[in-house]
Structure 1
Amino acid sequence: MTRKPLTKPRKTASQERSRATVDALVEATARILVKEGFDKASTNHIAEVAGVSVGSLYQYFPTKEALVAAVVERHQQEITQTVRGELADVLAQPVEKAVRMLVEVAVRAHRVDPRLHRVVAEQLPRVGELEKLATFNRENFTLFRAYLENHRDELRVDDLELASFVCVTTIEALTHNAVLHHAKAMPDERMDKLIDEATRLVTRYLLG
């Protein structure tokens, strides 16, 4: 049986100097992942790019997977800080405006360091951090489910659980692929059109 790699840090940095070391290691890992890929992100290489000793690296992180997990967690935090306040504002909006806001927020979330976002999406299964992404998606699903419940009388759909899944998954898939895999074909003007089309698609599904 293949042993699951350790993805938890050995200890938390509490002093300013140790926090600086951890920050340097996480940033170096992110740079290597983007430029060279997961297989090139050895602990020796990460320590070299970060400008610290391998011994210092192992004081805080037992494996390179633990460092990748730290990159994933930091990236998820950056996305959450970008969108969480805006998502709360959705609840007070009429259906079409609420859907547009969700699509726009999803685009902005995927534009938070898109090269790193793409690598993170690819590496999540390898470091066992899918639960973090699942938690973030569940939060979006729960918020949208609550929104639909508040607007039940306006909707043509009856199964709000299924409708929430359809809408959140559709918005995530469209914006993920547009921003991360078709960026060159999606300048701002074309992205605005995509937002229009995605809004129309989801709104018509909900309202008929």
Structure 2
Amino acid sequence: MARKLLTKPRKTASQERSRATVGALLEATARILVKEGFDKASTNRIAEVAGVSVGSLYQYFPGKEALVAAVIERHRQEILQTVRSELAKAWTLPVEQAMRKLVAVAVKAHRVDPRLHHVLTEQIPRVGRLETLETFGRENFALFRTYLESRRDELRVDDLELASFVCVTTIEAVTHNAVLHHSKLLTDARMDALVEETACLLIRYLKG
């Protein structure tokens, strides 16, 4: 029987020194994931790179899965801080402008530490809190659905739940692949064109 993965920290760092220790552990975990891969990210290796004892690591985290989950959460928060205000603006715009804004925001989100984003989304085992890391999570999916409802009279689509799924999935797939797999091919000018072409695709789908 497979062991249950523990993805929650043992305790929260409250003092400055303990926060510094946890920060060093998360930095070390992220560095190892990017340079050496998930399999090499043992607790001993993480502690070594962080410059702390394994005992100190285990004071805060039960194992490497909990450390990786914490790295995922930290990365998610960095993305949210980068795009939150721009996403909020998108929900107030007409459909044509909103789609362009949403695609551009997704590109920006994927450019937040893209090497780490690539590892976390494509190489980490899909279990527990490690299941996925998306620019448009459940909250933003719900906001997208609410936005379409507010613009229903402008749209040709009837099933807004399905339309939300199609649009959000398209934005995530296109921007993820563009930034993480074709960054050398897509110059800034081409990335602008990609935003425009993807937005046009969504606008034609939504409005005909």
TM-score range, shorter chain: over 0.9
Taking the aligned partners of 2:51 and 2:33, their CA distance within structure 1 comes to 17
1:174 is matched with: 174
Taking the aligned partners of 2:134 and 2:171, their CA distance within structure 1 comes to 15
Taking the aligned partners of 1:166 and 1:126, their CA distance within structure 2 comes to 23
Alpha-carbon offset, residue 79 of structure 1: 0.6
2:25 is matched with: 25
Instruction: State the secondary structure of the residue aligned to 1:125.
Output: coil
Seen in structure 2, the aligned counterparts of structure 1 residues 145 and 130 have a Cα distance that, compared at 3 Å, is farther
Alpha-carbon offset, residue 122 of structure 1: 2.2
Structure 2 length-normalised TM: 0.96
1:103 is matched with: 103
Which has the larger helix fraction?
Answer: 1
1:9 is matched with: 9
Alpha-carbon offset, residue 117 of structure 1: 0.3
Taking the aligned partners of 2:146 and 2:173, their CA distance within structure 1 comes to 21
Percent of residue pairs identical: 77
Alpha-carbon offset, residue 136 of structure 1: 5.2
Taking the aligned partners of 2:65 and 2:131, their CA distance within structure 1 comes to 15
1:117 aligned partner, one-letter code: H
Instruction: State the secondary structure of the residue aligned to 2:12.
Output: coil
Taking the aligned partners of 1:136 and 1:199, their CA distance within structure 2 comes to 16
Q: How many residues align?
A: 208
Unaligned runs of 5+ residues in structure 2 are none
Taking the aligned partners of 1:158 and 1:55, their CA distance within structure 2 comes to 58
Matching of residue 159 in structure 1 with residue 122 in structure 2:
no
Query: Which range moved further: 69-78 or 133-142?
Result: 133-142
Listed one character per residue, the Cα deviations across residues 25-54 of structure 1 (whole Å, up to 9, x for unaligned) are 000000000000001111111111101111
Instruction: State the secondary structure of the residue aligned to 1:171.
Output: helix
Alpha-carbon offset, residue 133 of structure 1: 3.7
Instruction: State the secondary structure of the residue aligned to 1:25.
Output: helix
Unaligned runs of 5+ residues in structure 1 are none
Over the aligned positions, Cα root-mean-square deviation in angstroms equals 1.5
Q: Is the 8 A contact 1:28 1:50 kept in 2?
A: yes
Q: Is the 8 A contact 1:65 1:127 kept in 2?
A: no
1:52 is matched with: 52
Structure 1 length-normalised TM: 0.96
2:115 is matched with: 115
Seen in structure 2, the aligned counterparts of structure 1 residues 135 and 86 have a Cα distance that, compared at 3 Å, is closer
